[in-house]
Structure 1
Amino acid sequence: MALKTRIREYREKAGMKQSELAELVGARRETIGHLENGKYNPSLKLAMAIAKVFHVTVEDLFEFTED
């Protein structure tokens, strides 16, 4: 299974830089970049923090797809 993410879409819609999102959720900018590029699977805590920033559910941000 692969993890598909919509973080970049929500972040850009909010006019936010990766570094700004990272600061809000207590992560590194590189972590946000890896999440957006599908190179990193977030912890539940991080996924929930990002969802809270955008006022959406975790399911709105992440989707598991079959490879």
Structure 2
Amino acid sequence: MDVRQTIGWNVRRLRVAKGLSQERLALEASLDRSYVGRVERGLENVTVSTLEALANAMGVHVSALFDEVDPKASKPEPLRSGRKPKPA
């Protein structure tokens, strides 16, 4: 797995763990949603500034985006699609 794929894997893993949609993460990081999707798929060569924006939006240190990925690990599960129900 190359570095771009490692970063993408960790962005998705952390985003899902925080319960953030790609759209919400993009909004919090002042990025385009489709760009976040490409980062998660390992298609973008992200800048340090972008890494910092993503990490800050998820409340983690930038180094968490470089965590080694276990080759046997399964892909992070996607969030449930659709809108969250409105509180009563």
With the shorter chain as reference, the TM-score category is 0.7 to 0.9
Q: Which residue of 2 aligns with 1:2?
A: 2
Aligned residues: 64
Normalising by structure 2, report the TM-score. Answer: 0.64
Q: Structure 1: 5+ residue runs without aligned partners?
A: none
The structure whose Rg is larger is 2
Letter in 1 for 2:2: A
Q: Percent identity, aligned pairs only?
A: 28
The root-mean-square deviation of aligned C-alpha atoms, in Å, is 1.8
Aligned: 1:23 with 2:46: no
Indicate the SS of the match to 1:56: coil
Q: Which residue of 1 aligns with 2:44?
A: 40
Letter in 2 for 1:40: E
Q: Structure 2: 5+ residue runs without aligned partners?
A: 69-88
Deviation at 1:55, TM superposition (A): 2.3
Runs of 4+ in 1 over 2 A off after TM superposition: none
User: Mean Cα displacement is larger for which, 51-60 or 24-33?
Assistant: 51-60
